[in-house]
Amino acid sequence: MRLIIDRKRWLRGTGEAHSYLQRKSDKKMCCVGFYACMLGYKKKDIIECAILDHLRDPSLVPDWCAKAGYEKSDIRQLYITNDDKVLTDTLRERKIRKLFAKHGVTVMFRG
């Protein structure tokens, strides 16, 4: 699987309180928002949703993103890495690529 993240539409580094899969005000998405769209969710389904577990229909969410063991999960690390206010984008991208790669997802950043 290949996930493409458009840097122009990528919501990152804002801290947890201001991050969503897709933010309503400017339509920007976190890395997991781009992933949700790749899984088959429509953008209208992820607006103002903070995490995949909050989606109405969780049927498209892979097991590795499930809430069990959440505190130590890779999906939680993706949220933390995406929202970190201190990381440079270079380091953030490297970490995101590595976390997704563990689950067979190749990430490409564009723009």
Residue ranges, the chain, pLDDT below 70: 67-71
- Look at the chain and report how many structural domains it folds into: 1
Token digits of residue 25: 């005000």
Give residue 64's pLDDT.
86
Residue 2's DSSP bridge partners are 106
The answer to whether 33 touches 20, Cβ cutoff 8 Å, is: yes
CA–CA separation, 99 and 41 (whole Å): 21
Q: What is the pTM of this model?
A: 0.93
CA–CA separation, 73 and 88 (whole Å): 22
Give residue 49's pLDDT.
92
The answer to whether 20 touches 30, Cβ cutoff 8 Å, is: yes
Give residue 85's pLDDT.
96
| Boundaries of domain holding 75 | 2-110
